[in-house]
Amino acid sequence: MQVDSGSAYTLISEETFRELWPHDPPRLEPSSLISRDFQQQNIPVAGCCTVNVRYGSFQGLLQLLVVKGKTPCLLGRNWFDPLRIRLSGIHQVNCSSVEEVIDEFKDVFSEGLGKFKGPPVNLKLDPTIQSICLKARKAPFAMRQEIELELKRLVDQGVLEPIEHTRWATPIVPVRKADGGMRICGDYKCTLNKALRPNQYPVPSAEQLFSTLARGRRFAKIDLAQAYQQLEVDAASAEAQALVTHKGLFRVKRLQFGVSTAPGIFQNFMDTRLAGIPGVLPYFDDIVIVAESEEELANKLREVLRRFAEDGLRVRRDKCIFNAKKVEFLGYSIDEKVIHPTEEKVRCIHETPRPKSRLQLQSFLGLLKFYHAFLKDKASVAEPLHRLLDKGSKWEWTKRHDIGFQASKQLLSSDAVLVHYDEQKPLILTCDASPHGVGAVLSHRYSDGSERPVPFYSRTLTSTERNYAQIDKEALAIVTAVKKFHDYIYGSHVEIRTDHKPLLGLLAPDRATPQIMSPRLLRWSILLNAYDYKLIYYPGKRLGNADALSRLPIACPEFPVPPPADVLMLETMQHTPLTADVIARMTVNDPVLSRVLMWVLKGWPNMLPVEEMFKPFINRKGELPTHKHCLLWGSRVIIPKEGRKGPRVGGATLGSSRYCTNESARQKAAPLARCRDTRHLKLQLIIGKSRGNRGNVYPLTSPGLSAESYS
């Protein structure tokens, strides 16, 4: 279907209609609409029907026009708002001069990584801090070939250069991208970031940006491709960014994401390169251009692209917006008349469903209590809601309660509570997860210690996410909030609050990324490396604002297939002796693992059991995700005791990603003299025995499993 902003309605031909619904087509209703093509020729209308549409986060019923003849399928303007399609997003260029400017600088929009032709970047290191050279982390066997191919690609691109010696060495963290490719990231928080001098370059103030944007009638927004990596670094900085892999050492010759001073360095660079062009506002890797007319916009765009061409920089055409009448920036929608907050800032408050239980009502009233100092008449407005919680009162939601609920939501989304974003004030991101939703509030802290929200956010969990372990749900709340509020927090220091203490050991910026970690948490850890944040534990009773949003989230459409980024990469073997369903059944029937599974899904108890059998799991309670109701350690399945019996745990599963505890491994290793002779060495996991051609018995180990185990 072709997107066509010139078409008022979405339409398809009769032939396409019959192909899409050969057996049970939607009912066609007569239509009085008159349809014409671009030559003003009439197109006969067969009728109109209502169809179920799923696109992105939208799922619902929309009207579809069916026309006679061989007409192309067009996605018209009546679907734009429901599907959240913006004219700027599909590059509708109404001004021929703007189009000519874009064609004039095709090289700037070409594929490939740009390279700044000026002097390289120098990372300022504290000379009193010694260099840190860490060892390479073990690369999973299944990923080694892909890692090596990605390393070769980066070498060919000029980003990496093989070396033999270095004073600095940062281990890599390979991450699977949503498209199935491989991304190689450096865990700089445990090496280089400790020695970097803070970059004090100021971020542009919101007042300055808004005052300039408010005077415009036409806007453009430009996005640089792989922004940081278009800047070369000098030899000393390249060595400081060096990566260590199973294939050796590599010097990193481009500025990397995850380097703590990179945002300030890049903002300084953009301000310098685009200085002197009025109405051009660089904000990290986004450049906003504002003008009074289309002609003025074209002239400013030409100057920006000319400088980019001279500097050797590249732009992502698909992320750019040209000749728009309004632009969204820092949570505000800006046009020629007014600057106003986007609906997204308070949408989760406006669409909060009414409470269906006492617990949900308590959570909502907790949100009111959190901001009670700014809520005028809060006591009288919410009084009917409080009466529902009286001891002995019957739960019966009436019109009186609904009026109080709606009025309370209006109070929460009013200017008395919400404040404008101010880059001079400290940022606090409060996140929480419930069994069915995530919620977050981005706030400013004032000099008197009070906190005022800038935007709110909440959403329900999908059916896949509801099966996450509790630690994954809490981490999801943080990552979802960071992505949602990227424009506010990127390049600024933000304090992130969570009520799930184990996350501090996994996602805290001052700690190295654990080697044993689920692929999902590993991806999220790398994503957070690009931000300047401090992760702080707050008891749940002090997170009333985010807790209420997570327990009363706005609806999120369900999709039968979860996004690839949320699926563990598991390989199915032919005739596998143990399937996920079998292991899940064994886990539920196992007296130890069944309790561990319950704790992982619903949260660990405050009073942990003292029995020896639970210690291996308690020691690693932050490293135990779930998948298809099976327990995992990192990305390896924990085999219940029943599944370790018999030969099917031997050669048939050699090389698979499975894990048994120390006790099971010792029992299998005990009869083997070679294992007794090396009992003082770290125990290698024994998963079976094999008889050679001469009748000798050899222990079999799985190369896909770690030598470490629960202890």
CATH number at residue 401: 3.30.420.10
Q: Of 32-46, 154-168, 657-671, give the range with the top mean pLDDT.
A: 154-168
Judge if 389 and 409 occupy the same domain: yes
Judge if 299 and 377 occupy the same domain: no
How many contiguous H segments (helices) and E segments (strands) does the chain have? Answer: 23, 30
Judge if 318 and 370 occupy the same domain: no
* Whole-structure pTM value: 0.52
pLDDT value for 706:
36
**CB of 496 within 8 A of CB of 478?**
yes
Per-residue DSSP letter, 499: S
Range of the domain at 33: 2-85
Task: Identify the residue with better confidence: 661 or 475.
Answer: 475
- Establish if 106 belongs to a structural domain: no
Reported as a pLDDT band with limits 50, 70 and 90, residue 126 is very high
pLDDT value for 403:
87
pLDDT value for 652:
39
- Establish if 230 belongs to a structural domain: yes
Closest CA to 702 of 640, 642, 609, 636: 636
Q: Of 70-79, 505-514, 584-593, give the range with the top mean pLDDT.
A: 584-593
Report, as an integer, the average pLDDT of 312-336. 81
Report, as an integer, the average pLDDT of 33-40. 65
SS3 content of the chain, % helix, strand, coil (to 5): 35, 20, 40
- Establish if 233 belongs to a structural domain: yes
High-pLDDT (> 70) share of the chain, %? 75
pLDDT value for 560:
40
Residue-wise DSSP of 183-250: EEEE-GGGTGGGTBPPP-PPPPPHHHHHHHHTT-SEEEEEEBTTTGGGSBB-HHHHHHT-EEETTEEE
pLDDT at residue 568 above 50?
Answer: no
Reported as a pLDDT band with limits 50, 70 and 90, residue 535 is very high
pLDDT value for 173:
82
pLDDT at residue 199 above 60?
Answer: yes
Judge if 450 and 466 occupy the same domain: yes
pLDDT value for 629:
80
pLDDT at residue 562 above 50?
Answer: no
Judge if 196 and 265 occupy the same domain: yes
Distance (Å) of CA 407 to CA 359, 373, 414 = 20, 17, 11
Q: Of 57-66, 258-267, 594-603, give the range with the top mean pLDDT.
A: 258-267
pLDDT value for 27:
82
pLDDT at residue 545 above 70?
Answer: no
- Establish if 421 belongs to a structural domain: yes
Range in 210-224, 439-453, 462-476, 486-500 with the lowest mean pLDDT: 210-224
pLDDT at residue 677 above 60?
Answer: no
- Establish if 531 belongs to a structural domain: yes
- Establish if 131 belongs to a structural domain: no
Judge if 641 and 560 occupy the same domain: no
Reported as a pLDDT band with limits 50, 70 and 90, residue 476 is very high
Mean per-residue pLDDT over the chain, rounded: 77
pLDDT value for 567:
42
pLDDT value for 585:
87
Judge if 329 and 371 occupy the same domain: no
Domain-terminating residue out of 85, 102, 120: 85
Judge if 365 and 335 occupy the same domain: no
Task: Identify the residue with better confidence: 7 or 281.
Answer: 281
Q: Of 52-61, 457-466, 652-661, give the range with the top mean pLDDT.
A: 457-466
- Establish if 116 belongs to a structural domain: no
Question: How do residues 397-453 score in pLDDT, each as one tens digit?
Answer: 888 888 888 888 887 766 556 676 777 789 999 998 888 788 888 888 888 888 888
pLDDT at residue 608 above 60?
Answer: yes
Report, as an integer, the average pLDDT of 484-509. 86
Report, as an integer, the average pLDDT of 81-101. 62
**CB of 328 within 8 A of CB of 288?**
no
pLDDT value for 415:
58
- Dihedrals phi, psi of 354, to nearest 5 degrees: -65, 145
Instruction: Look at the chain and report how many structural domains it folds into.
Output: 4
- Establish if 114 belongs to a structural domain: no
Look up residue 218 and give its two tokens: 């036409």
pLDDT value for 337:
61
Instruction: Tell me the residue length of the chain.
Output: 711
Cα–Cα dist 612/592, whole Å = 11
Residue 292: give its domain's CATH number.
3.30.70.270
Residue 567, amino acid = V
Distance (Å) of CA 692 to CA 229, 292, 673, 689, 698 = 53, 83, 17, 10, 7
pLDDT value for 38:
56
pLDDT value for 528:
87
Reported as a pLDDT band with limits 50, 70 and 90, residue 129 is very high
Task: Identify the residue with better confidence: 384 or 704.
Answer: 384
Cα–Cα dist 498/147, whole Å = 33
Give the CA count within 13 Å in the CB-facing half-sphere of 654: 10
Core vs surface per residue 492-507: b (16+ CB within 10 A) or e: eebbbbbbbebbeebb
Range in 65-74, 561-570, 592-601 with the lowest mean pLDDT: 561-570
Reported as a pLDDT band with limits 50, 70 and 90, residue 244 is very high
Domain-terminating residue out of 289, 310, 340: 340
